[in-house]
Structure formats: structure tokens, C-alpha cells
Homo-oligomer: A and B are copies of this chain.
Amino acid sequence: MRFLHTADWHIGKKLHGFDLMEEQNNAFEQVKKIALEQKVDAIVIAGDLYDRALPNEAAVEEMNQMIIELNLKLKKPILAISGNHDSATRLNTGHDWFKTTQYFLNTNLADALHPIEFEDTQFFLLPYFQPYQARNLFEDTELIDVKVALKRIIKEMKTKFDPKKKHVLTAHFFVTGSSKTDSETKVEVGGLNAVPTDLLQDFDYVALGHLHDKDALREDRIRYSGSLLKFSVSEATIQKGVWIVDTDPFKCTFMPIIQPRDIIVLTKSYQELISPEMVNQIPSEAYVAIRLTDKAIIPDIMNNLRNYYPRIISLERAYGREKNAAEEESIDLNLGPMELLTNFFNEITDEEISSKQKKWAAQSLNSLEKETNL
């Protein structure tokens, strides 16, 4: 069979205050198109459908419409699990009805042990879980971390393996490189909650969610799909997309998702940034992260730059910043808390503190002071 592997939709997410709904709908349309063109037999969503346990109403409506579109209108079977950002309980609403239209959603650890049989393949849908859930399920107090719990879970899954079928696991956790071979990914970032790839070798394919980079692992058959969109400046250079996976013969093809609004990092001086050549080069809809090479003080810089780049998501100094006269003076003077705070605010943000912010700060300082005096 052929399926599409995606994850980490994070519906409802905002990027530094910018609503991503338009971009998420655009990316979803691309996923739909790929699913149709590639004639996939199913769509695997490996967790973090929502960005938060309590998505707002607009996000709930968006997600509901996406699933209705894929499953009810296009008749595509869906195999999905809850991730650490989802509320398993809330996501589960409607579960018992969904399977009637081949929307197989699993938010429950116990149900992960029972494969969904699908054409030539057995799918094991393992939602994000905490070790205590495994301890309760297996009544085994020794399952102290995700790694040992997963070992136990997979042992159980293997008793259900039909040797005539392929075996696909979908899961949502942090997988490190094999502890035996690939030195580059050997470090167990994430400690006890990281899972070594060794544990996952008995599956024909492992469709992962959690990390947003499709290249986070160097394994042919254990892959993150990455998110559909870039969700932070650190993801600016990561290519986003979905995997098209054929089970027999095994084949894995990456299909890119064009970013409707890209994240672009500009390491430039102020003069370069406001030059027409530079401005014209950057699509006006792009999210721009600025690393300013100037060290000089530039008054009201953020507001000025927003005239050229309306979607600035971060502004930092590549090489630090000169101190202004007040700062130089202040270093050894005995300033009050409010002066220290306004100077600090100005230094960090390159903006003046507003009167409202000043009022909040004054209130907090006052109640702090009174608290210590009580």
C-alpha cells in the first residue's frame, strides 16, 4: 500500500503573535493535492494535531473541517494519534463514530496494542504517553521511563504481528540515533525520555511526530515527517513537506510543502535593510527575523523596520550594541528599581517603555516591596 506520512500540524498556533490560520489552510490544501495526485491509500498523522490542549474555537472548527474534508469528502482513510500538545481526552470526542468511516484515531495507550489491519499492512497507533500510563496498563512498577516502557509495549505489539503483513508504527516521541552505530546522533538529548532507534528496528516503517525536521534522524525506515510549516526562526532553513511511503517494495519519497509565508533570516546592517534592492528582494508577506550587524544605537528601530518588513518576528543584534550615554553613566550609580528596569527594557528591546508598561511595572514593584515588608 501507499500512505502519506505527516505530523505536527499544530492547528491554532501563533508565530510571535501572527495568526497562522491562513498558512495552515494553505499547507493543508497542498497536503490534499499531494494525497490525491499520489493516490495514497491512507494518511498518517503522527500527533500534535492541535497546538495546545485547549485550542480556541477557531482552531477546533479548522481542524474539524480538515478531517471532514480528507475523510468524509475525499474518502481518504486517516490513521492518527494524539501528541504531547494535544489533549487526548478532548481529541477523542467522536472517536467511536470516526472508525465507521476509516478515521482511525488513537489517544489511548491500551488500544495501541491492537493493530489496525489495512490492506497489506498492520498499523500500530501509539499515542504520546507518560511512563505512569504504561505502569498502570502492564501493572509493572519497573517501567520507570519511556525507553523501558516502550520496550515492553513493542514486545506486546510483536505478539500481534501477522508475518504475512508489513508492520508500521506511528508514534510521537523523541528518538535518538542508534546507540550502536551512528556517532553523530549518539548523544541522548532529552535523557530518559529519548528512545534509541534500536528499539524500533522490527517495524517496516516508523512514522514519527514530535521533531519538526524531516532530517532529524539518519534512518531509512524510521522518519520524522516534520511539520508542514516553519514554526520558529530555528526552522528557517528546514525544508518542510510530507513523506509518501510505499510498503511493498519499500520506497519513501519526500514531497515538499511550499511555505505560503516563508521565514527569512536577514543578517544585515540597518542601511542595507532599508535599501530598495533589499526590500524588493524580500516577499512582502514573508516573516522576517533580523540579525542587525550595526552596533550603533538606532532610535525607534523596530517601528522603522516594520515600515519595510510588516511581519518581523524577531530583531537581535548580531554583534551586540553600543551603550548609550545614560547606560554608561548608570553602571556605577545607585539607580532605583524603576530606572534600572526602564533602562534594561530599552537596552533589550531598543524601544522606550510605554506609560502603560511603566504603570504595570510600578504596581508590581510596589506590591513586591509591600510583600517583603509584611
Residues of A within 8 A of B (CB): 54, 57, 60-61, 64, 68, 72, 87, 89-90, 92-98, 100-101, 103, 359, 362-363, 366-367, 370-371, 374
Contact = CB atoms under 8 A, between A and B. Distances in A.
A295 B109 CA distance: 59
Given A61-B89, A64-B93, 4 more contacts: A57-B89, A57-B90, A97-B100, A363-B367
A370 B374 contact: no
Contacts of A92: 64
Nearest to A370: B366
B96 A93 contact: no
A89 B60 contact: yes
Contacts of A89: 57, 60-61
Contacts of A374: 359, 362
A363 B359 contact: no
B94 A98 contact: yes
Contacts of A93: 60, 64, 93-94
The 5 closest A-B pairs by CB, nearest first: A94-B94, A97-B97, A57-B89, A366-B370, A367-B367
A359 to B, nearest CB: 6
Contact of A97 (B57, B94, B370, B371): B94
Given A94-B93, A97-B101, A87 B57 contact: yes
A342 to B, nearest CB: 15
Nearest to A371: B363
A89 B374 CA distance: 47
Query: Is chain A's binding surface mostly helix, strand, loop or mixed?
Result: helix
A250 B168 CA distance: 58
Contacts of A100: 97, 100
Contacts of A97: 72, 94, 97-98, 100-101, 103
A98 B95 CA distance: 10
A363 B369 CA distance: 10
Contacts of A370: 362-363, 366-367
Contacts of A68: 96
A89 B12 CA distance: 14
A374 B98 CA distance: 58
B60 A90 contact: yes
27 contacts: A57-B87, A57-B89, A60-B89, A60-B90, A60-B93, A64-B92, A64-B95, A72-B96, A93-B93, A93-B94, A94-B94, A94-B97, A94-B98, A97-B97, A97-B98, A97-B100, A97-B101, A100-B100, A359-B371, A362-B370, A362-B374, A363-B370, A363-B371, A366-B366, A366-B370, A367-B367, A367-B370
Task: Give the most central of A101, A359, A374: most B CB within 10 Å.
Answer: A374
Nearest to A64: B93
Contacts of A72: 96-97
A60 B100 CA distance: 21
Interface centre among A68, A87, A96, A98 (most CB of B within 10 A): A96
Nearest to A68: B96
Nearest to A98: B97
A56 to B, nearest CB: 9
A94 B61 CA distance: 11
A60 B54 CA distance: 12
Contacts of A371: 359, 363
A204 to B, nearest CB: 31
Nearest to A73: B96
Contacts of A363: 367, 370-371
